[in-house]
Structure 1
Amino acid sequence: MKMTLLCLLNTCLMATGQMLFKIGSAGKAVNSLFEIVKLFFTPIVFIALCLYAATTGLWLFILSRTPMSHAYPIQALAFPIVLFASMLFFHEHISGVKWLGIAVIVFGVFIATRG
């Protein structure tokens, strides 16, 4: 149970990083490698990169203590978390087909983490 909660925490932190990447890149010109590297050093993107480094450390800790076949399916929950957050924070329209896909992912994670 503890490792499952850590997997969920890791997934939520990854999703938070994705949202920060979106915020940090919004309205920026990203047309060259130089512009991408320059973007790395903006405050929000830099925080997102640090968050990703932390989630990588947490992921290594998780993998050292639990089977990958249990931990990895939980990472798929980043998709519904980001989809829901994009709807709330960026007012993106989420179609019925996407909601159906998210339901399949959630159900699949539920099945994959049993037993």
Structure 2
Amino acid sequence: MSSYQDLLAQKAALEKQAQELDKALADARRAERAGVIAQIKNLMNEHQLTVEDLAAKPGKASSAGTAGRKVAPKYRNTATGETWTGRGLQPKWVQAAVAAGKKLEDFAI
């Protein structure tokens, strides 16, 4: 059986090894990251990409020009003249009419 002093010495040695291992891990991670960053930069140069290209969402470029545009109404309440584009939640007048048995097509413009 080991004495208390022996166990404390072992603990100190293990803690020193753990610190050295942590430093070695950090160094290895830094070196690996540097290699990956260099590889990414080479690929970006090869394909003439910019950081902005990486931030852009694929397939969204064409819809960006239409964002915020007004949409023509598709449905009209003949009694009040209210309109609805057919997008988003149904207005209360549409909900009430559908609940009363009418079809959405009855209000099509």
Query: Into which bin does the TM-score normalised by the smaller protein fall?
Result: under 0.3
The structure with more radius of gyration: 2
The structure richer in helix per residue is 1
Superposition TM-score, scaled by structure 1 size: 0.23
Greater length-normalized contact order (CA 8 Å, ≥ 6 residues apart) = 1
Superposition TM-score, scaled by structure 2 size: 0.24
